[in-house]
Amino acid sequence: MKYLIIFALVVFARAQTDWCNIENCSPGTHVQCLYSNTTFGSACTGNNPVIQPMTPIVQEIILDRHNYYRNQVAGGSVVGYENVVLPPAVRMASMRWDNDLAHFALLNARQCIFAHDQCRRTNSFRWAGQNLAALMTSYTETSPNFDLSEFLMRMITNWFNEHAWTRVSDINTLTTIYNGNQAIGHFTALVNELQTHIGCAIIHYNDGTWRRHNLVCNYAFTNMLNFPVYRSGTAGSQCTTGRNPLFSNLCSVNENINPNPFLNEANVAFEKN
According to the CATH classification, is domain 49-270 in 3.30.70.920?
no
Min mean pLDDT across 4-8, 226-230, 239-243, 267-271 is at 4-8
Region of residue 183 (phi > 0: left; psi between -120 and 50: alpha; otherwise: beta): beta
pLDDT at res. 139: 73
Reported as a pLDDT band with limits 50, 70 and 90, residue 189 is very high
Tell me how far apart the alpha carbons of residues 145 and 210 are, in angstroms, rounded to a whole number: 11
Task: Determine the average pLDDT of the residues in 222-246.
Answer: 98
Reported as a pLDDT band with limits 50, 70 and 90, residue 142 is low
pLDDT(1) > 90: no
C-alpha 237: how far from chain center: 25
Task: Determine the average pLDDT of the residues in 54-62.
Answer: 98
pLDDT at res. 36: 80
The full set of domain ranges for the chain reads 49-270
Cβ-in-10-Å burial (0-12, 13-18, 19+) of 245 comes to exposed
- Higher-confidence position of 199 and 138: 199
